Amino acid sequence: MKKKISLSWSGGKDACLALHYLIQSEKYKIDHLHTVIGEETNRVGMHGIKKELIEAQAKALNIPLKISYLSSDKSNISYEQVMQEYAEYCKSKGIDTVAFGDIFLEDLKKYREDKMAEAGMKCLFPLWKKPTKEVIKEFLDLGYQTKICAGDASKISRKVVGMTINQDLLKQLPQDVDPCGENGEFHTFVYDGPLFLKAVKLDLKSIQSHFYKYKTDDDGEIKTVKSEFYFAELE
């Protein structure tokens, strides 16, 4: 009997390839996809993707979608409360494992494992420690289509935001940018591929810039850093 699990779902390529692996393994039944949406923005975090597109994506994949809403304060405490409530939801359905599309960020993996363990849940990482060049190559070779929906302005050019990733576009990325954007350099939205019943129709309306302020500890000195991100307004 296949093990019933859920998959943390941003709508991006890594989550999609993780889904592909899980289905191909024939060991798991994906009960649902789970997405955290901003209560105030009605969008997916740093991806900037509208809820309606995530819903259309899940429908095209023919997999149920569970949405959790993050309060407008976007604090870590609020996020952990959301995930605690989600863990209880999973357990009520007989699910004890959540899969994630993380590749090599050790601190993020440990954070997920620790928090899920506190809630009596386990984690699964289908892409863990796979070379990111191989991950993106396999993703494209399988026939998936994904657009860059957001990017760090200090890392990538504005002109690639909203574009569909292919090998030519990857060659345009600076050498210090991970080909999967695993360090947060860019985020993606998948709109077609082998698992899709039909493509999600997308229109690029504009490219927006947003600025964020956050604090860093530089050798004991707290500094406020202003960071710019580009977002593709997809509808």
Burial of 231 (0-12, 13-18, 19+ CB in 10 A): buried
CATH of domain 1-235: 3.40.50.620
Whether 157 and 185 have beta carbons less than 8 Å apart is answered as: no
DSSP summary character for residue 164:
B
**Cβ neighbours, 10 Å, residue 30:** 18
- Residues 179 and 161: their CA atoms lie apart, in Å, by 14
For 112, the token pair is 């997920």
Q: 156: part of which helix (H) or strand (E)?
A: none
DSSP letters for 178-232: -TT-TTSSEEEEEEESTT-SSPPP--EEEEEEEEEEEEEEETTEEEEEEEEEEEE
- Residues 120 and 201: their CA atoms lie apart, in Å, by 39
Please give the chain's pLDDT, 235 residues, in tens.
899 999 999 999 999 999 999 999 999 999 999 999 999 999 998 899 999 999 999 999 999 999 999 998 777 889 999 999 999 999 999 999 999 999 999 999 999 999 999 999 999 999 999 999 999 999 999 999 999 999 999 999 999 999 999 999 999 999 999 999 999 999 999 999 999 999 999 999 999 999 877 666 666 666 666 789 999 999 9
DSSP summary character for residue 41:
T
- CA distances (Å), origin 123, targets 7, 29, 100, 182: 10, 15, 7, 19
Q: What stretches of the chain show up as alpha helix (H) in DSSP?
A: 13-25, 51-61, 76-92, 106-118, 132-141, 167-172
**Cβ neighbours, 10 Å, residue 216:** 9
DSSP-derived pairing of the beta strands 145-152 and 186-192: antiparallel
